[in-house]
Amino acid sequence: MIFVDACLGKKTPYTPVWMMRQAGRYLPEYMQVRAQAGDFLRLCKDPEKACEVTLQPVDILGVDAAILFSDILVVPLEMGMELQFLKGEGPVFSHPIKNQTDLDKLDVQKAIDGLEYVYETIKRIRGKLAADKALIGFCGAPWTLATYMIEGQGTKTYALVKKLIYSDPAFMHALLAKVTEVLKGYMERQIQSGANVVMIFDSWAAALEESAYFEFSWSYMKEISAYLKGKYPHVPVILFPKGISGYLDKIDGEFDVFGVDWSTPMELAKEKLGHKYVLQGNMEPTRLYSKEAIDAGISHIIEVMKNERHVFNLGHGILPDIPVEHAKYFIKQVQTRTKL
């Protein structure tokens, strides 16, 4: 598989390309299946429909990898928290984690076993996906998940979770350790079910100052990746912490690919990390509104990376109103222009 080879730093005939959120609202075909499912969470829990929407961008766009259709928050859901996706508000936990009693109710093994619908989805995808196309499994980073679990929903201030970091760090570490144990088992089961690559998303990495980031987030991501690489050395691990360009000097660990977000200059990422890791990214997603902007963005990244140790992607998720034709154009241009 060209995508797996690229993630492991091997030479490939062109630079493989996929997009974060490639199975999503910009595709009319996705919206039809979501409407049939009834709501977002039901779609995540329906292996047949989740398989269908995972495969759509592979068939429609020609990307080099499929990424499992799911959501990072199914993990705290199956640990025992009540989750709803509310129109206009997004995901909401009705009873956020506030104290040790709440933490004690969260069940590690119950969560790993309760995510069976995800493993079944992966098995179905791998059964239908072309042999030369990779399947990416994923999870949210412990810090990102813990933030949702404590705040109860998305946040701009991170006031509750950051208060805990400084006022009760032992409690935060206990929560993060518990989530980490779930994610080790969850990622392992994804690999056993047929995922060829796994990726950990730290969407809210930028909320933390440097010392707190490495203590409360990166250390746990490293723990998960080391666990997986120790047992499955042939399976590439991608880590994607969003918005930490100022901390790149201190990035280390046992993983294969570092995801570069669009706010981090690719030149900087290459200088600091290109000798240690394959880099993934980092086209600004809004460039996809214009074919001229797509061309310029691709040219810049090719010039920086020289087709070496690189996986092409957006620097975050594709937006819902991007024209499908522009997404197709982006994929085709990358595959054509990076041919050796």
Binding site: residue ranges?
A: 21-25, 71, 148, 203, 316
d(C-alpha 124, C-alpha 50), whole Å: 9
Name the active-site residue from 5, 14, 42, 71: 71
- Angle subtended at Cα 244 by Cα 240 and Cα 246, rounded to the nearest 5 degrees: 145
Name the active-site residue from 34, 124, 126, 189: 34
Length of the chain: 340
| CA proximity to 218, closest of 177, 171, 259, 253 | 253
| CA proximity to 124, closest of 185, 49, 198 | 49
Radius of gyration of the chain (CA): 19
Sequence letter at residue 60: I
Confirm whether 21 is a catalytic residue: yes
Confirm whether 287 is a catalytic residue: no
Note whether 248 and 269 are within 8 A (CB).
yes
Name the active-site residue from 5, 25, 232, 295: 25
Instruction: HSE, CB side, 13 Å, CA atoms: give it for residue 52.
Output: 14
Q: Greatest CA span in the chain, whole angstroms?
A: 58
Sequence letter at residue 181: E
d(C-alpha 111, C-alpha 90), whole Å: 22
Annotated binding site for substrate: 21-25, 71, 148, 203, 316
Tokens standing for residue 156: 């701009």
Tell me the backbone φ, ψ of residue 134, rounded to 5 degrees: -85, 155
Three-class SS of residue 333?
Answer: helix
Note whether 23 and 57 are within 8 A (CB).
yes
Note whether 148 and 76 are within 8 A (CB).
yes
Per 3-state DSSP, the chain is made up of helix, strand and coil in percentages (nearest 5) of 55, 15, 30
Name the active-site residue from 26, 30, 119, 148: 148
Confirm whether 124 is a catalytic residue: no
Note whether 262 and 283 are within 8 A (CB).
yes
Name the active-site residue from 21, 126, 189, 287: 21
Note whether 280 and 3 are within 8 A (CB).
no
Q: What residues act catalytically?
A: 21, 25, 34, 71, 148
